[in-house]
């Protein structure tokens, strides 16, 4: 892996910069798995995403195996990194429908940070029909960062008609002008 100046690595497949605690953990995980010849007990999110995008595994299942408790990876931060650095990957992950609702809600919110609204908005609008209110709420937070006339109309409709009160409240605030 490419070493970075500030005590970190660049993940070889995703190109994400991994620094600080994350870098130390990743290095430790990789070392342990290399020396034992086994798969690492913990999968860094970037690796999981990479595997999932490659279609080789089920990201939701893998994420549920990451329960060693030694990791400080944050879905929100990592998805946010993807949103700014590799937005196409983030949207691909969302569209594949392989994230569990507890993760998909954060991915949808992070998609709010994607600069290209034309790419992000259709994907987020699609999530407003998701069966999980958690996911719909995350999509509302993502769309709040891509407000245009069409988005505001949809947010107002959600604020009136969604079946979940929490989603309605989220949409009401998101639809308001500043």
Partner 1 sequence: MKSRFVRIRGRGASTSTGDLELFFQAEFCRSGTPELEMSVFKIDESLQQLSQLIAEFYASRPDGRFEKPRDLDHFDVTGLSPRETQSDGDSLFAFSRRAHHVVPFHSADELRDFAAKLLDQANARLLRVTPVDMKRHVRAKLANNDPEWTAAIERMPNIRTWAESTKGEPGPAIKKAKTGHGGDSDTNA
CB of 60 to partner 1, least distance (A): 8
Distance separating the N- and C-terminal Cα atoms of the chain? 44
CA distance 24 to 142: 31
C-alpha dist (Å) from residue 46 to 62, 105, 119, 123: 12, 17, 22, 21
- Tell me: does residue 71 bind partner 1 (CB under 8 A): yes
Residue of 18, 91, 107, 170 that binds partner 1 (CB under 8 A) = 170
DSSP 37: T
Do 106 and 75 contact (CB within 8 A), yes or no? yes
CA distance 48 to 125: 25
CB of 74 to partner 1, least distance (A): 4
CB of 34 to partner 1, least distance (A): 22
**Window 1-40: residues binding partner 1 (CB under 8 A):** none
- Tell me: does residue 177 bind partner 1 (CB under 8 A): yes
Do 107 and 96 contact (CB within 8 A), yes or no? no
**Window 109-168: residues binding partner 1 (CB under 8 A):** 113, 132-134, 136-138, 141, 144, 164-167
Enumerate binding residues for partner 1 (CB under 8 A): 42, 45, 48, 62-69, 71, 73-78, 80, 100-103, 105, 113, 132-134, 136-138, 141, 144, 164-167, 169-170, 172-174, 176-178
């Amino acid at each position: 892996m490419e070493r970075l100046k500030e005590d970190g690595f660049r993940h070889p497949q995703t190109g994400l910069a991994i620094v600080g605690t994350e870098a130390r953990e990743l290095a430790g995980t990789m070392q342990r798995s290399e020396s034992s010849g086994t798969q690492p007990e913990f999968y860094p999110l970037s690796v999981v995403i990479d595997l999932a995008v490659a279609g080789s595994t089920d990201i939701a299942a893998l994420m549920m195996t990451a329960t060693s408790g030694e990791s400080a990876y944050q879905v929100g931060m990592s998805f946010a990194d993807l949103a700014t650095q590799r937005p196409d990957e983030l949207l691909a992950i969302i569209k594949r429908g392989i994230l569990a609702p507890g993760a998909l809600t954060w991915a949808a919110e992070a998609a709010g940070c994607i600069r290209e609204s034309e790419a992000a908005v259709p994907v987020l609008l699609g999530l407003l029909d998701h069966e999980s209110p958690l996911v719909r709420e995350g999509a509302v937070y993502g769309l709040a960062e891509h407000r245009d006339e069409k988005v505001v109309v949809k947010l107002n409709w959600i604020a009136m008609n969604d079946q979940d009160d929490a989603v309605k409240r989220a949409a009401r605030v998101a639809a308001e002008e500043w």
